[in-house]
Amino acid sequence: MKQQNSLYIFSITLVATLGGLLFGYDTAVISGAEKSIETYFSELGLGSLAHGATISSALIGCIIGGIVSGYFSSKFGRRNSLIFAAVLFLLSALGSAYPEFLFFEKGNPTIALLLTFNLYRIIGGIGVGLASAIVPMYIGEIAPAKIRGRLVSFNQFAIIFGMLVVYFVNWGIANGQSLAWINDIGWRYMFASEAIPALLFFIFLFFVPETPRYLSLNGEDDRALAILTKINGSREAKSILSEIKHTVTVSSEKLFAYGKTVIVIGIMLSVFQQFVGINVALYYAPRIFESMGAAKDASMLQTIVMGLVNVIFTIIAIMTVDKWGRKPLLIMGSVGMAVGMFGVAGLAFANIISIGTLIFIIIYTASFMMSWGPICWVLISEIFPNKIRGQAVAIAVAAQWAANYLVSSTYPMMMEYSGGLTYGIYGIMSILSAIFVWKFIPETNGKSLEQMESIWTKTPSEKSNAL
C-alpha cells in the first residue's frame, strides 16, 4: 500500500474512533459528578435505588441505540448514522450540564427536573449505543483486509482512552476547588466538557466517505469503486468491489438457522462481561476511593491512575490476542478479576482501609482490560455466521447494555447492605465466567469466518472437539 493510501485510511479511522472516544467519555463522565448529583437532588429524598437508576440512566439509551443501530446503519448509511450519534452526544452534553434550560429554575430541584436530567443522559446513551455498534462496522468496511483487525482494535483503545481523558478532565475541574463549588457548578462543567469532542466528531464526519459496502448495496458502484481505489489502489479495487457485490447479494437467513446455541453463547458472553462488575469500578471509582479514606481530589487522582492502567493493559491485549488466542486471555483475565474482587471483598469484610484496596482494584481492572474488555467485542464480531451476523450482534449488544444497566443501577443499594458481599458476588461471577469460556467458547484465533460458521453446523461431538 502506498504511503498516501496509508495516511488516508489512518485519517478515516482516526475520525471514526472519535465515536469510540465519545463512547468512553460519555459512560465515564458520570464518575466525577455522581456524588454532586446525589447532593443536588437530595432534597427529594428518593434514596439509593433512585440514585442508582439516575446514574445508570444513560444505559437505557445504550440499549435503545444498540437495538436500532442495525436499522439506522442500513437505512441511512454508516456515516450518516454516526453524524446523528454525534448530534445526540452534543445535545446530551449541554442538556446534562444545564437541565434547567428553558423550563426550570436553577437551584430548585424537582422530580420533573430529575426526569429531564435523565432524559438528556438517555439521549447521550442512544448515541453511545449507536457508536458501539456502528463504529467497528464502519472501520471494518473501510479498512483493507490485511490491517482490518488492527484498525478495528483501535476503537477499543479509543473507548478506554476516552475514559482516561474524562478522568483527567474531572480531576482538573475539581482540583483545588471547594466541595460546595463542585456540587453547585463543577459537575456541570464535567458534563459540558463532552461538547468539545462531540462537536469535533460531528464536523470531521463530513470529511470522510461512506463505506464501499453500503454504497454497493445501494447501487452506487461508481462511488464505491472510487473510494476503494483511493484506499487500495486501482489494481485491487475492482477485485474487492466484485467480492463486496457477491457478499451483499447473499440473502440473510433466519436468526436460529444455525441453532440456538450460538445465539445463547453470544448473549452470555455479553452478560458475563458486565456481571463481573467492571462498570461499577468505572462509574463509581471516585466514590470507591473516597470510601477508602481518600479526599475528593485524591480520589479523582487515584481514578486517573486506574485509567492509565486500563490503557496500558488494553494495549497488551491488542498486542497478544493474535499470539496467545482468545480463550487463554479470557480465562487468565477471569482469574485475575476474581483475585482482585475477592481481595477487595475480604478487606471490606475486615473493615480494613488501606493501599491494599487500591492494589486489588488495579489487579481487577488490569485483568479485565487485557481480556474481557477488548476480546469480548472481538469474539462477538467473529463467532456469528455471516448470514445472521447483523441480527445476532444487535441482540448481543442489547443484552450487554441491559446487563450493564442492571449491575450499575443495583450497586448503591447492594453496597448499603454489604460492601464485602457485593464485591464477593462480582468475584464469584468472575469464576463463573472462566468456567463458561472453558466449556462453551470456541477458539477463533487463526480461523476464517467461514471456518467459524462450520463449527455451528457440526454434530454435538464435533462441536465439543472444536471448543
Tell me the per-residue pLDDT of 159-217, one tens digit each, with 9 for 90 and over. 888 988 888 898 889 888 888 898 889 999 999 999 999 999 999 999 999 988 788 87
Beta-carbon count within 10 A of 222 CB: 8
* Lowest pLDDT segment from 122-126, 172-176, 319-323: 319-323
User: What would you measure as the largest C-alpha separation in the chain, in angstroms?
Assistant: 68
Q: Where in the chain is the domain with CATH 1.20.1250.20?
A: 1-208, 256-467
Cα angle vertex 179, ends 173, 181, to 5°? 65
**For the packed helices 111-142 and 389-417, what is the interaxial angle rounded to 10 degrees?**
140
- What nine digits make up the cell of 431? 469464576
Domain covering 1-208 assigned CATH 1.20.1250.20 in the classification: yes
Q: What region, left, alpha or beta, does residue 348 occupy, with left being phi > 0 and alpha being psi -120 to 50 degrees?
A: alpha
Res. 3: pLDDT tops 50? no
**Measured distance CA(274)–CA(218) in Å, rounded:** 37
C-alpha cell read off for 102: 428553558
Rg (CA), the chain: 22
When the candidates are 3.90.79.10, 1.20.1250.20, 1.10.150.120, 2.40.50.140, the CATH number that belongs to 256-467 is 1.20.1250.20
C-alpha cell at position 124 = 447521550
What is the C-alpha to C-alpha distance for residues 370 and 402, in angstroms, rounded to an integer? 23
Nearest to 393 by CA among 405, 403, 380: 380
* pTM reported for the whole predicted model: 0.76
pLDDT value for 431: 95
275: nearest Cα among 127, 442, 399: 399
pLDDT at position 459: 45
Give the phi and the psi of residue 92 in degrees, each rounded to 5. Answer: -65, -40
CA distance 409 to 420: 18
Q: Where residue 301 falls among pLDDT bands split at 50, 70, 90?
A: low
